[in-house]
Structure 1
């Protein structure tokens, strides 16, 4: 059996400086740059950390690489829209004028953006989402 001490999710970007500005200045995350351009560590309020590494031939995934549980998707959308962030719209999803899918995850709402590298970041405020994941 494999013994896992902790998780360390990772994803790539094509421009570390742009990623650092976006995750720090736009999303307000604590970001630490590693020496010699090795990557960035994103620290979430939950205590989780993510590693973002540079990849010259990076191609964004066709799926959400990071989903963040928030208290209020409307508040997040309003704040980020005020910073000039555009929200992604998907065919087949019933999204309102703000780009929010109502009742998306366990009765909560969801919305998506892309980072400067084209990685999709989702926000959800469904009350049960984290609990369901913990029970899986």
Structure 2
């Protein structure tokens, strides 16, 4: 029933103005609803999108909440680092980042960073 439907994500923000500034200044995104006060909606590739809403629950999840598929993960990481985005470094059994990027045996790769609200976001490469 849902396999052919577009899907989006919903992220929490303790401070919607701070979140709006982060997504504009660091990620280069502009909201589709610039006049809204308690939420912002963003459109991304192929009709996908996400919403950020104001809540005191922001930053409490310890898992990746949204990810973008990129064609060149090293270039995407470097571009975001140039805007001030800091990538996480992980060293877990089966997952280790180097320069912020985890490379998998199948050729895929991922890199994680936090937004202004403490949400975990990712860049993903899939060969």
Shorter-chain TM band: 0.7 to 0.9
Q: Distance in 1 between matches of 2:6 and 2:102?
A: 32
Structure 1: which 5+ runs fail to align?
128-136
1:27 aligns with 2:61: no
**Structure 2 Cα separation of the partners of residues 71 and 6 of structure 1:** 21
Higher mean C-alpha displacement, 24-33 vs 39-48: 24-33
More displaced, 18-27 or 112-121? Answer: 18-27
The aligned length equals 124
RMSD: 2.3
TM-score (norm 2): 0.83
| Cα separation, partners in 2 of 1:38 and 1:102, compared to 1, 3 Å | same
Unaligned 5+ runs, structure 2: none
Aligned residue number for residue 100 of structure 2: 99
- Name the structure, 1 or 2, with higher relative contact order (CA <8 Å, separation 6+): 2
**Structure number having the greater strand percentage:** 2
Instruction: Detail structure 1 runs of 4+ shifted over 2 Å in the superposition.
Output: 4-9, 32-36, 56-60
Normalised to the residue count of structure 1, the TM-score between the two structures is: 0.78
1:60–1:117 CA contact under 8 A, matched in 2: no
The structure with the largest helix share of the pair is 1
Give deviations 1:52-103, integer Å, cap 9, x for gaps: 100034343110000110111100111111112110112312211x111012
